[in-house]
Amino acid sequence: MANIKSAKKRVELNIKQNERNSAERSAMRTAIKKFEGEPTAETFKAASSAIDSAKSKGLIHANKAARDKSRLSAKLA
């Protein structure tokens, strides 16, 4: 652990940010799993929205988001 006050603050901020990011990533993965279990238009919309949200926050790359959405839409069709 850091000894300097500003370094302690930075570490604390990084921990909180990592928790938020992992929660968002987990929500995305959960939405995708729900779609795979029950591929309906409603679950596709939720999964697609979760992927777009993760992409806009920088958690996943734009190409991965497009690839994931493409695969989901292929399963829906």
Q: Which residues have CB under 8 Å from 76's CB, separation 6+?
A: 39, 41, 44
How is the chain split into domains, by residue range?
30-77
pLDDT at residue 60 in the model: 95
Distances (CA, A) of 8 to 1, 11, 13, 18, 21: 7, 5, 9, 15, 20
- pTM of this prediction? 0.83
Predicted pLDDT at 1: 72
pLDDT class for 28, splitting at 50, 70, 90? very high
Q: What is the mean pLDDT of residues 49-63?
A: 96
64 has a pLDDT exceeding 90: yes
